[in-house]
C-alpha cells in the first residue's frame, strides 16, 4: 500500500522551488495559486532568505502550494491517483494539502484557508512571545511529565524519540535549564507555539471562514493529525483542520495507522525529507521516497507503480460510505440493527469498532437508506475499510 504525505512548517528551505519552476506547467499553476493566496510564491520559493520564509503567513501558503503542485507533477491526471493511493496524511499545515489532494476541498479553497490560517496564527503568535523546542530521545513518559511540569504542551508527538514542546519563551527557557534525563533539546526556528492554547484566537477566526466552505467526502483514506483515525466525512475533516490549530499533532498515531494498514511505501511531497526521515525510524521495513526535485519524478512514478493499489473507497455520488475509523473488530451488538432498505437518521450510531486502544462509535453524519452492509458482525476491519453503503435521503 502507498501513502502520500505532505510536510508541515519548518520543512521549507531557501530556494527549494527553483528547479520546479523550470517546468512551465508548474510555474503556471504556482502563478494561479499565488493569485489566490495574494502572495508571490515563486519569489518566496526561489529568492527569499530563511528568515523571510520562516514567517508563518508566508511559510504556510508556500508549503501547501508546493505539496499540491508536487502531487500534480507526479499525477498529471489527478483522477488516476485514486487507483494507486491507499491513504494520505499531512503534518500540521500539510494536512490542508492532503485534504485538497483527496478531494475534500478544492486547491483554491485550500489556498484561501491556509492564507487566513497563516495570518491568524501569526497574529496570535504576536500577542505573546512563544516558541517550540524539539525533545530528542529520553524516556517518553519522563519527557511528557517534564513538559507538563514546566507548563508546556507536547504540541507534536512525532513518534519514537521525538516530541516537540511548546509554550512561552520563559517556560521554554526554564525547561532548557531542567531538561528530561537522557534527552537532547533543539530549539526550533518557528514564530510561535503552534498547536497550543496560544493559538485559540486563530481557531475562532478560521471557524468563521470554514462555515462558508463546501466540502466533499475524501476519495481515499485521509488519516487525521488529531488521533490517527481515518475520517471520511468532509465536514468533519474541515472541522478538524480548524481545530488542529490549537490541538497537538499526533503524528505518532498517524504512523500507527499506517502500520495497521500494512503500508509498504511512503511518498513525501516537496519540500520533502522530514516525514520520510521520521518514517524510517518508526516504520522499519517500509520504503520511503522524498520527492525534492523534478528530476526525481520518473523514479517517483516507478515508486508509485511498485507500491500503489486501489483504494477501497468508491466515491460514487449516488451513495455515501461509512468507514472504520481505526483497526479493530466490527460490531452492531446492542444497536438497532438496520438492514437493507432501512432508514438511518443523521447522527445515528450504526456500528462500533473496538480495538485494544479504543472503542469508537460509527455515526451517520447524514441520513440515508441502507443499501448494503459491507462488513459482518465480528469481522476484523482495517482503518478506512467501508462498513455500510447508504443512499442519501431527503436533502442530503
Residue with cell 471557524: 207
pTM here? 0.93
Decide if 366 is catalytic. Answer: no
CATH entry 2.40.50.100 includes domain 320-392: yes
Domain limits, CATH 2.40.50.100, in the chain: 320-392
**Is 28 annotated as catalytic?**
no
CATH of 2-124+197-307, one of 3.40.366.10, 3.40.50.10480, 3.20.20.70, 3.30.450.40: 3.40.366.10
Nearest-CA neighbor of 159 among 266, 301, 64, 280? 280
Give the CA distances from residue 178 to residues 146, 152, 171, 185, in Å, rounded to whole numbers and listed in that order: 8, 13, 11, 11
Report CA torsion sign: 347, 349, 350, 352.
positive
The residue from 150, 195, 198, 232 that is catalytic is 195
Mean pLDDT, residues 20-37 taken together: 97
User: Which residues of the chain are in CATH 3.30.70.250 domains?
Assistant: 126-187
What pLDDT score was predicted for residue 394? 59
pLDDT at 315: 59
Rounded CA separation 91/98 (Å): 9
Select which of 66, 92, 131, 311 is catalytic. 92
pLDDT digits (tens, 9 = 90+) for 46-97: 999 999 999 999 999 999 999 999 999 999 888 788 889 999 999 999 999 9
- Spell out the residues 6+ positions from residue 314 whose beta carbon is closer than 8 angstroms to its own: 321, 386
Q: How does residue 396 score in pLDDT terms, banded at 50, 70 and 90?
A: very low
- pLDDT higher than 90, residue 10: no
Report which DSSP code applies to 81.
G
pLDDT band at 334 (very low <50, low <70, confident <90, very high): low
CATH number corresponding to 126-187? 3.30.70.250
For the chain, give every residue range classified as CATH 3.40.366.10: 2-124+197-307
What pLDDT digit, counting tens, does each position of 96-153 carry? Answer: 999 999 999 999 999 999 999 999 999 999 999 999 999 999 999 999 999 999 999 9
Amino acid at each position: 500500500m502507498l501513502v502520500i504525505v505532505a510536510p508541515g512548517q519548518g520543512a521549507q528551505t531557501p530556494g527549494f522551488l527553483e528547479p520546479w519552476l523550470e517546468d512551465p506547467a508548474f510555474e503556471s499553476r504556482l502563478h494561479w495559486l499565488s493569485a489566490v493566496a495574494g502572495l508571490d510564491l515563486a519569489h518566496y520559493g526561489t529568492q527569499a532568505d530563511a528568515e523571510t520564509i520562516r514567517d508563518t503567513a508566508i511559510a504556510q501558503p508556500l508549503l501547501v502550494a508546493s505539496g499540491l503542485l508536487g502531487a500534480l507533477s507526479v499525477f498529471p491526471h489527478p483522477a488516476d491517483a485514486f487507483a494507486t493511493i491507499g491513504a494520505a496524511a499531512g503534518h500540521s499545515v500539510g494536512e490542508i494539502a492532503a485534504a485538497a489532494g483527496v478531494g475534500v476541498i478544492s486547491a483554491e479553497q485550500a489556498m484561501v484557508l491556509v492564507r487566513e490560517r497563516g495570518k491568524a496564527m501569526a497574529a496570535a503568535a504576536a500577542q505573546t512571545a512563544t516558541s517550540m523546542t524539539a525533545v530528542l530521545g529520553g524516556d517518553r513518559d519522563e519527557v511528557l511529565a517534564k513538559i507538563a511540569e514546566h507548563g508546556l504542551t507536547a504540541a507534536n508527538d512525532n513518534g519514537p524519540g521525538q516530541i516537540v514542546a511548546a509554550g512561552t519563551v520563559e517556560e521554554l527557557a526554564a525547561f532548557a535549564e531542567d531538561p528530561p534525563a537522557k534527552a537532547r533539546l533543539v530549539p526550533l526556528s518557528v514564530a510561535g507555539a503552534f498547536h497550543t492554547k496560544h493559538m485559540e484566537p486563530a481557531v475562532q477566526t478560521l471557524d468563521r471562514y470554514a462555515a462558508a466552505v463546501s466540502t466533499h467526502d475524501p476519495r481515499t483514506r485521509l488519516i487525521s493529525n488529531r488521533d490517527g483515525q481515518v475520517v471520511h466525512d468532509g465536514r468533519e475533516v474541515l472541522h478538524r483542520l480548524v481545530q488542529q490549530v490549537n490541538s497537538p499533532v499526533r503524528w505518532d498515531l498517524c504512523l500507527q495507522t499506517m502500520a495497521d494498514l500494512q503500508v509498504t511505501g511512503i511518498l513525501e511531497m516537496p519540500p520533502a525529507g522530514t516525514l520520510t526521515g521520521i518514517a524510517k525510524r518508526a516504520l522499519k521495513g517500509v520504503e520511503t521516497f522524498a520527492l525534492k526535485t523534478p528530476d526525481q519524478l520518473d523514479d517517483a512514478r516507478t515508486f508509485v507503480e511498485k507500491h500503489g493499489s486501489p483504494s477501497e473507497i468508491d466515491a460514487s455520488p449516488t451513495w455515501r460510505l461509512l468507514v472504520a475509523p481505526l483497526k479493530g473488530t466490527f460490531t452492531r451488538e446492542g444497536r438497532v440493527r438496520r438492514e437493507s432498505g432501512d432508514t438511518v437518521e443523521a447522527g445515528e450510531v450504526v456500528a462500533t469498532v473496538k480495538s485494544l486502544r479504543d472503542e469508537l462509535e460509527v455515526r451517520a453524519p447524514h441520513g440515508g437508506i441502507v443499501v448494503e452492509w459491507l462488513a459482518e458482525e465480528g469481522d476484523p476491519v482495517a482503518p478506512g475499510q467501508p462498513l455500510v453503503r447508504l443512499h442519501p435521503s431527503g436533502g442530503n
